[in-house]
Structures are given as structure tokens and as C-alpha cells.
Chain A
Amino acid sequence: MILPLVLRNVAYRDIIQPLSLEIDAGPSTIILGANGAGKSVLMRLMHGLLAPTAGGVAWRESDALRVRRLQAMVFQRPVMLRRSALANVVYALAVAGVPPAEREATARAALAEVGLAHLAQRPARVLSGGEQQRLALARAWALHPEVIFLDEPTASLDPTATREIEAVIRAFDAGGTKIVMATHNLGQARRLGDEVIYLHQGRVLERTPADRFFSQPASAEAAAFIKGELPWV
């Protein structure tokens, strides 16, 4: 177990003000906030793509290789390699050091998990946006990480594709993978979140179980965000 992930007084330039957070296995965590609140930067600090300008990010385990292998991230716009869908997943497994003999079967299982088994040989770049994002989920999930960070994974998708992506995320969640997802979509936060971390101008204003967050948010900013956002859900 590499979880829990502990952020101690983590700051990043003037985007993230010093904050402390502990992310543990179990219920899914939604990082909610308006555009520019610092959600993406916070996710990147957790995932290790950005180094904090102050404070520290620590996992329970210190073995860097295991920590890297047991977490994955799905971006708003996934970058697909110019090769088949299957080869994209195989590439991720190869980079992670999975023995060659195991790669294809593992990759095929991951594709099946997200409902893309029939498109395994299709070049990844010609897949639709929704299919590419499902492929990104398969690529992230292929190594069975303990935690998956999702940065607005449906922000550029239509409602049908969004539903498909959410179904996959729910399946990962049910399978025991910790979900940490950034979104500004309240409906999605409601559908997928067990707890909500509300981020406003680089500060964590509250961390509340999802049902309570939507019925009685603790902070005035969150209340205004919920009120302002609802018509768009």
C-alpha cells in the first residue's frame, strides 16, 4: 500500500496556498472548484508532475519505483501515441517494466475492462474523443494502480461519452481503486463523489462528505458555487 498520500504545507507559486491534506484509500475524492481554483495544479503536485515550491508530498512507502507504478493519471486531453489502441496500453506496461510475455494479455484485459476490446487494433489517434479517453483509462488502469488521478476527464466530451467514462470510473471505484478526480461539473461530482474537497483560489475551503456538501456546504464560497453552477448541470 502506497496510500495514504500526505501533503504537508504544500504550496506552488501563488497558485496553491500552503495546504495540508491526507488522501487515503477508500471513498472517492472529488476536487471541486471553479476554473483557475488550482485543481489541475493540485492534482499534478499529488501525482508528482510538479514539485511544490514549499512543503512536502509523501507517500506511505518510500520505494520510488513502487510509488510511481501504483499511481496513474488521466488528463483532460489524453495524448495518444501513433500506434494501435492495444500498442498504447502495451507501451505503458513496457515503460513500467512489465515482462514482455505478460504485456499483451494484460493490455487486452484492460481494453476489455473499458469496453474497447473490439477496437484493439485500431490506430489510437483515429478513435473518437470518448474512445480515446476510455483508452486513456485503460492505459492508466492496466497496472492496477492503487490510486488514479483524473483531471477533468470528461470536460471536452459530449454527454454520451461522459456517461461511458463515468461508468468506467465507477467500475474502477467498485474494484477498489482509489479515485481522485478534479472537476468543475457539479452533477458529475454528485454522481461519482463520496467526499468533496472544495478548492477556491488555491485554498481548501472545506472537505466534506458529498451528500452533506451539496445540501449544506460549510463555506459561503462553496454555497455560491453550487448555486451559481446548478443551472448548468
Chain B
Amino acid sequence: MQEFPGVLAEARLWQIVALSLEVSLSAVGLAALAGLPLGAALAVARFPGRHALIVLLNALMGLPPVVVGLAIYLLLSRAGPLGALGLLFTPGAMVIAQTVLILPIIAALSRQAVEDAWREYEEQLRSLGARGMQAALTVLWDIRFSLLTVILAGLGRAAAEVGAVIIVGGNIDGVTRVMTTAIALETSKGDLPLALGLGVVLIAVVIAVNAAAFLVKEAAQRRYG
């Protein structure tokens, strides 16, 4: 058994931490790029079936990671429709799986945030002549500081999940091993101190990211009101 400080000093550990952040931040970036405009559009547009779509989107926030992992696995496996890309058991596959997992979270939460703000903005924006997607994106940008919390919710989900990345990534040492899969492995191997150490590092990283986001948000809000 290793002592905590020994664990922390290992270069391999920091490689795992870096890959975790790389995968989860990439997934959050992609999911935000698609999910924020999607949520804004759903908040502002009026069409038949909108309510059903909102309910579905909200329900998808609870997608089980293992199910998403399995679906992406089938898509990317050699016999699957996207097998030719050769992405299975690469960090790329993990990014895809996590993006699918958190896209509904970011879209659903931003839909709610934009819809609440829309009540305040609608008349003014329509009066100025902003229509449709233009108005939706205006509101999205205007509540950008509040949306940071939406992004963090997505990041939290991505950083914490193990089910999807372990299926599509395979937990290969030095290639696709991230913190959560490493913790699962060490726990099953019985190396509880190492698993616990990794857990502490994971939580510390998540807290650091959230603290940084909070400071940015506070500063920006003081500046722009």
C-alpha cells in the first residue's frame, strides 16, 4: 500500500488528472456549443409539440451513463455504423459519450433560464425588431453569467460519471484511464488508499474549477450589473 503523498507525487497520477479534465472539458465545450442555442431556441420558439419536447429534454437529464456508453459503444464498435472511424477505446470516444450525456442537461437548464429572462426581454426586443433566433441569442448572451452555473452542472456530471467512459474508453492505462475509472479499478483491486487518494484529488479539482468560475462570474457581474 502506498501513502497519500507518494500517490500524489506520481507522474502517472497527473497524467490521469489531465486526461480527465481534457475529456470532460472538451465534452462540456461541445455540449455547450450545441446545447445553449438549442435551449434558447426552445425557450423562444412556439410550435406544436414544444411542451412534449421540453418534457423529453428534461427527462433526458437523467440519462443513465452506462446506457449512453453502451449506445455509443455499439455505434463505434467495429461492426457499428461509425466503426470505420476507429474511435472506440480512444479519448475521442469518451468525449462523444460525455457530450451526449450532458447535452440534455445544458439544453434543458438553459431553456429554463432563457425562458424566465424572455418574459423581461420579449417586448423590448420585439420593439427593436429582433426576431426568432436573433432574439434568442441576444437573451442567451445577456444572461451569460447565469449560464455559467448551467455549464458547471454539465461539467459536474461529466467529471463525476464513470459508466459511459469505462465502456467506450476501456480504462486502458496511459490511454483512456481517467480518475473515475481509475478509482473504480483500484477499489476492485482492493487498493483502497489509492482509490481514496484519487477521489480526494478528483473532488479538489472539481472544487478548484468551480471556485475559478465563481470568481469570474462575480467579477463580471459587478462590472456589468
Interface residues of A (CB under 8 A from B): 44, 47, 49, 68-69, 72-73, 75, 78-79, 81-83, 91-92, 95-96, 123-126, 139
CB closest chain-B residue, reference A69: B129
Tell which of B120, B128, B223, B225 touches A95, judged by Cβ atoms closer than 8 Å.
Answer: B128
Contact B224 A83 (CB under 8 A): yes
Q: Which residues of B contact A69 (CB under 8 A)?
A: 129
| Total count of chain B residues near the partner, CB < 8 A | 20
Q: Is B134 an interface residue (CB 8 A)?
A: yes
Contacts of B118-149 to chain A: CB distance below 8 A: 120-121, 123-130, 134, 138, 141-145
Tell which of A44, A91, A123, A125 touches B128, judged by Cβ atoms closer than 8 Å.
Answer: A91
Q: Cα distance A78–B126 when bound, in Å? A: 13
Tell which of A68, A72, A79, A82 touches B225, judged by Cβ atoms closer than 8 Å.
Answer: A82
Whether A82 contacts B142 in the complex (CB less than 8 A), given A68-B129, A95-B134, A123-B224, comes out as: yes
Contact A125 B129 (CB under 8 A): no
Q: Which residues of B contact A68 (CB under 8 A)?
A: 129
Contact A126 B127 (CB under 8 A): no
28 A–B pairs (Cβ distance < 8 Å), ordered by A: A44-B123, A47-B127, A49-B123, A49-B126, A49-B127, A69-B129, A72-B127, A73-B127, A75-B123, A75-B124, A75-B127, A79-B121, A81-B138, A82-B143, A82-B144, A82-B225, A91-B138, A92-B128, A95-B128, A95-B129, A95-B130, A95-B134, A96-B128, A96-B129, A123-B223, A123-B225, A124-B225, A125-B225
Interface residues of B (CB under 8 A from A): 120-121, 123-130, 134, 138, 141-145, 223-225
Whether A81 contacts B142 in the complex (CB less than 8 A), given A123-B224, A123-B225, A126-B225, comes out as: yes
The distance from the CB of A41 to the nearest CB of chain B, in whole angstroms, is 12
Q: Which residues of B contact A75 (CB under 8 A)?
A: 123-124, 127
Q: Which residues of B contact A47 (CB under 8 A)?
A: 127
Q: Cα distance A154–B138 when bound, in Å? A: 26
Contact A79 B120 (CB under 8 A): yes
